[in-house]
A and B are shown apart, each in its own frame.
Chain A
Amino acid sequence: MMEEKYRVCDIMVCAMARLIPDGSKVFHGVSSHMPMIALLLAKALHAPGAVHLNIPGGTDPDPVRLKKYTSAGPELLERATAYFPLMEVFDLAMRGELDVAFLSGIQFDSRGNVNASVIGDYKKPKVRMPGGAGSAVLIPTAKRAILWRTKHDKRTFVNQVDFVTTRGNVERIITPLCIFKMEHGEMVLETIHPTSSLEEVEENTGFPIKYSNIAYTPLPTKEELSALKRIDPGDFRNIEF
């Protein structure tokens, strides 16, 4: 079922965009070009009333030109309607009113544990990672935590994470191969991207793959692809690959 002409970054961004309902309040942080672009895509298509929240504090920015090096820059405030900075986004989540938070991590296990902190001993780690940023408080408090990771291998999807930075309301994890969904405290395979296969997912995942039926992630539509070109002419959605 190989579809050569479709790029994984487009499949992932479109899948993320479709998970954003109209009217929902949605946050992304630093190093988050893919969800930032997914959110702008959702707002351009099916979810014009989704609320875009971000670190610089620009509510519903209409950024003329995204920056390649940052998803936390002043361009997100310049053409926004209101100032609602990071600390207030956190407060919003704490009182239970943030609908969706897009976050990432370095290691994930089948129980929904996320590690963005260290490999090895916390005090003298073998690998010190950048840190979970807001994850440790947002994953438990956002109504839906949607995660993405552009690596899918046995070091990323492990039987047991080295360190639990957090666990909570993880709903889905979008990878270059598939979409995992949390069901009854366990991560199950929801859809496989048409660019991948069940065998590839199984070979690259460190825990046994569970699924109820084999389904494929819908490919980006022409409308989505043309909106993406308009929103992200610099192709920053591909920056993590």
Chain B
Amino acid sequence: MSKIMTLQEAAARIHDGDILGLGGNVLHRAPMAMVRELVRQNKRDLKLVKTAGAMDVDMLCFGGCVSSVDAGFISYESEYSLAGHYRKAVESGTVKGNEHACYTVISALRAASYGVGFMPVKGLVISDLIDANDYFMRVEDPFTKEPVTVVKAIRPDVAVIHVQEADEEGNARITGPLFEDVLFSRAAKRIILTAENIVHGSAFTGSSKKADIPHFLVEAVVRVPKGAAPCSCPGSYDIDGKNLKEFKGLKDLGGLNAYLKAFEKSDYKG
């Protein structure tokens, strides 16, 4: 059964208030075409989850789509530097910045993927983050009676993952670093894929490198070449620094809308 649909149709399956997992890491393989479409569709109250986010989180904060961000790190790294819209949104109180250690996001997703409500995290021992956040708790290890910090499970309503290859049923293969995306595919209730290329299923059956994400976990597949741009997509393209700078220079929502408009042809080419 084909799960291919348009970007607009797939974005319509993400609802206001959803807990949304974002694939990739910092400026690599972020699902930027879907992020742009979520801003165009004026989504609200999204609760974002990612270990280390950058432009994706920043753009959704700019668009007013976000109510909270659970992450270990939000920045464009050294050259492109701080995520100004995320920062401003948290400082003004419109977005709740739920700081994690990247590992506690992983542990929270693991808990969801194992079907349990929380996960012990060994390393989180001395930190103001424990008392400042209701998703961390100190409990007693029932076996050793030692104190241990646990993190509450995060089960995303939906995760969006950009991949290099998917077939129409939703089997997907990732080239290069997987980051936390395979874990996301097991932890989230629903998975939407955007893909550089739609391949025939025989690309997986006839290869020793199988799909990383199997079809039965996936609800929608969208063909979007350049779907991670201006972020990088390993094996396909590197970042578009000029475009990143253009985005970082935008001053207001009018500027953002014009920026998004310029991507429509490429994003809807499917």
B-binding residues in A (CB < 8 A): 29-31, 33, 55-58, 67-74, 77-78, 85-87, 90, 93-94, 117-118, 122-128, 130-138, 140-141, 163-168, 239-240
The answer for the CA separation of A166 and B127 in the assembled complex, in Å, is 5
- Residue B125 interfacial (CB < 8 Å): yes
Could you name 24 residue pairs across A and B whose Cβ atoms are closer than 8 Å?
A30-B77, A56-B25, A56-B176, A69-B77, A70-B232, A72-B77, A74-B235, A77-B177, A86-B102, A87-B106, A90-B106, A117-B129, A118-B97, A124-B91, A128-B86, A128-B90, A128-B97, A130-B73, A134-B102, A164-B126, A166-B126, A167-B126, A167-B127, A168-B126
Number of residue pairs across A and B with beta carbons under 8 Å?
169
CB <8 Å contact, A137 and B128:
no
The answer for the CA separation of A164 and B26 in the assembled complex, in Å, is 24
A-binding residues in B (CB < 8 A): 25-28, 51-52, 71-80, 82-83, 86-87, 90-91, 93, 96-97, 99-104, 106, 121-129, 132, 176-180, 183, 232, 234-235, 238-239, 241
CB <8 Å contact, A130 and B126:
no
CB <8 Å contact, A240 and B103:
no
Contact of A31 among B25, B77, B121, B234 (CB under 8 A): B77
Nearest neighbor of B238 in chain A, beta-carbon distance: A67
Nearest neighbor of A94 in chain B, beta-carbon distance: B122
CB <8 Å contact, A128 and B103:
no
Nearest neighbor of A115 in chain B, beta-carbon distance: B128
CB <8 Å contact, A136 and B124:
yes
CB <8 Å contact, B129 and A128:
no
The answer for the CA separation of A117 and B97 in the assembled complex, in Å, is 10
Which secondary structure dominates chain A's binding surface?
loop
CB <8 Å contact, A140 and B75:
no
CB <8 Å contact, B90 and A125:
yes
**Assuming the A-B contacts A126-B91, A166-B127, are A137 and B101 also in contact, with contact meaning beta carbons closer than 8 angstroms in the complex?**
yes
Nearest neighbor of B82 in chain A, beta-carbon distance: A130
CB <8 Å contact, A135 and B101:
yes
Q: A133: which B residues are within 8 A, CB to CB?
A: 52, 72-73, 101-102
Contact of B127 among A69, A126, A141, A164 (CB under 8 A): A164
Q: Output the least CB separation between B248 and chain A (Å).
A: 12
CB <8 Å contact, B80 and A69:
yes
CB <8 Å contact, A69 and B27:
yes
Q: B128: which A residues are within 8 A, CB to CB?
A: 117, 122, 163-165
CB <8 Å contact, B71 and A131:
yes
Q: Output the least CB separation between A101 and chain B (Å).
A: 10
Q: B123: which A residues are within 8 A, CB to CB?
A: 90, 93-94, 136-138, 140-141
Contact of A131 among B26, B72, B93 (CB under 8 A): B72
Q: B52: which A residues are within 8 A, CB to CB?
A: 30, 55, 72, 133
The answer for the CA separation of A123 and B68 in the assembled complex, in Å, is 11
The answer for the CA separation of A239 and B27 in the assembled complex, in Å, is 17
Q: A137: which B residues are within 8 A, CB to CB?
A: 101, 103-104, 121-124
CB <8 Å contact, B26 and A70:
yes
The answer for the CA separation of A167 and B28 in the assembled complex, in Å, is 30
CB <8 Å contact, A132 and B232:
no
Contact of A69 among B102, B122, B241 (CB under 8 A): B241
CB <8 Å contact, A30 and B73:
yes
CB <8 Å contact, A90 and B103:
yes
